[in-house]
Amino acid sequence: MLLKVLNGQPCCGLAAEPLADDRASLLALKFKALGDPVRLRLVALIASTAEVCVCDLVPAFALSGPTISHHLKVLRQAGLVDCERRGTWVYYHVLPEALGELKALL
């Protein structure tokens, strides 16, 4: 039984490490955050510019403000995005290191 990574065909970063339980949970949290169409589109919108105001995100969906706020919170808690308040408005930006961590596994 030969490791794929030794075959010259490492199919992905996941193939390399045995992936301990606690690390798997942390990573799964991030993948799960991306595992919703609304949140995926949110990340795409946020990533497409340096930062995006929530007031620009809400009208991009046929969903209530609280629902968008909830999804943004999930993304924040997963460590994929962060936000900054400036006056009345809140601006979101992606955390590229977090996306890079996932990318390294695929």
What gap in Å lies between CA 36 and CA 71, rounded to an integer? 9
Which token pair is 11? 């199919």
Is residue 19 within the footprint of a copy of itself (CB under 8 A)? yes
**How far, CA to CA in Å, does 106 sit from each of 16, 28, 100?**
11, 13, 10
When binding is defined by CB under 8 A, the residue of 55, 69, 77, 103 that contacts a copy of itself is 103
Which token pair is 90? 């809140």
When binding is defined by CB under 8 A, the residue of 59, 66, 87, 100 that contacts a copy of itself is 100
Which token pair is 30? 């991030």
Is residue 85 within the footprint of DNA (CB under 7 A)? yes
Is residue 35 within the footprint of a copy of itself (CB under 8 A)? yes
Return the one option of DNA, a copy of itself, none that residue 17 interacts with (CB less than 5 to 8 A, by type): a copy of itself
Of the candidates 94, 65, 70, 77, the one whose C-alpha atom is nearest the C-alpha of residue 29 is 77
Q: Site residues (CB under 8 A) for a copy of itself? A: 1-5, 7, 11-12, 14-19, 21, 24-25, 27-29, 31-41, 43-44, 47-50, 94, 96, 99-100, 102-103, 106
